Amino acid sequence: MELLFSPLFSGSGGNAVYVGCEESGILIDAGVSCARVVNELEKIGVSPTSLKALLITHEHSDHIAGAGILSRKFDLPIYATEGTWRGMEEKVGQIQPKNMRLVDPRIDFFVDGMNIMPFPIPHDAMEPCGYSISLGGIKASVATDLGCIRDGWMNAVEGSDILLLESNYDPDMLKAGKYPYSLKTRILGRKGHLSNDDAGAACVKLVGKNVKNIILGHLSKENNFPELAMETASLALREAGVEIGRDMTLSIARRDGFSGLYSLKDGFQELSKGVRGV
Ligand SMILES: [Zn+2]
Ligand SMILES: [Zn+2]
């Protein structure tokens, strides 16, 4: 068994993550244009016709911008909670009824042998959720757009072989930056986004929950730098006695293109660009 994982885009400008096995693939969010998603998929050797599901975390445009066109072009079923469907129905355009699938955030389901477990997340959207995908004892999770650290989502991603975790902003950059007061308050709130410091604290707890490989993502373009996010989390881990590289791995997802194709099977390895299923 092999599970492939590749963040294609990750940031406030748009999000999409590919998770796949030998036969088929799943996309989590499509927050950039259909053409850009297809372009990145081709770089990792994945045909968009092999996709079997598009899972949506919530209705904000950086998660759904390309969803409607992807569904219409590739006859792709979209999975979302009832609240998310309500929030995005008008934005994604006409979707064939057979491709409108309802997710109950407390009930897992299967797509081509891959077990999908949705879990609620604290975020200012109608009914947002993250997803864990498991295949043959391998588990990959996406937890971004999180207002705060909570036992619920932390427990849901427990034991993940790989996790895409939000590290959205540096608090000092946000406070000193040009965002209006209302937007700053929203981001800082308990239903906003995780700061670099929050992400660092979460990393420490998650290593204790047997999460082995963490990719920091959904970085703000205006209020963060990859180096800063990496350094903040690394420091928190080191202070907690975690040795990066030995006890776990830590990396950063790119905003504007795919960030490696991670192969999860007997142990963790990152494949080189464009190589699939070797
Ligand atoms: Zn959001
Ligand atoms: Zn977002």
Would you kindly state where each structural domain of the chain is located, as residue ranges?
A: 3-266
Q: Measured between alpha carbons, how far is 103 from 82 in angstroms, rounded to an integer? A: 7
Look at residues 213, 263, 259 and name the one whose alpha carbon lies nearest to residue 3. 263
pTM (predicted TM-score)? 0.95
Residue 136 alpha carbon to ligand 1 centre in Å? 31
Look at residues 111, 140, 137, 144 and name the one whose alpha carbon lies nearest to residue 12. 144
Residue 226 alpha carbon to ligand 1 centre in Å? 19
Residue 33 alpha carbon to ligand 1 centre in Å? 17
What pLDDT score does 267 carry?
64
Instruction: Give tens-digit pLDDT for 224-237.
Output: 999 999 999 999 99
Residue 60 alpha carbon to ligand 1 centre in Å? 5
Q: Which residues of 145-172 are buried (b: 16+ CB within 10 A; e: fewer)?
A: bbbbbeeebbebbbbbbbbbbbbbbbee
Fold assignment, 3-266: Metallo-beta-lactamase; Chain A (3.60.15)
Confidence check: pLDDT of 274 > 60:
no
Ligand 1 is an ion; residues with CB less than 5 A from it:
60, 145
Instruction: Give tens-digit pLDDT for 162-212.
Output: 999 999 999 999 989 989 999 999 888 889 999 999 999 999 999 999 998
What is the number of the ligand closest to the CA of 126?
1
Sheet of 16-20, strand order? 100-103, 78-81, 51-55, 25-28, 16-20, 3-9, 261-265, 267-271
Residue 278 alpha carbon to ligand 2 centre in Å? 32
Instruction: Give tens-digit pLDDT for 20-34.
Output: 998 899 999 999 999
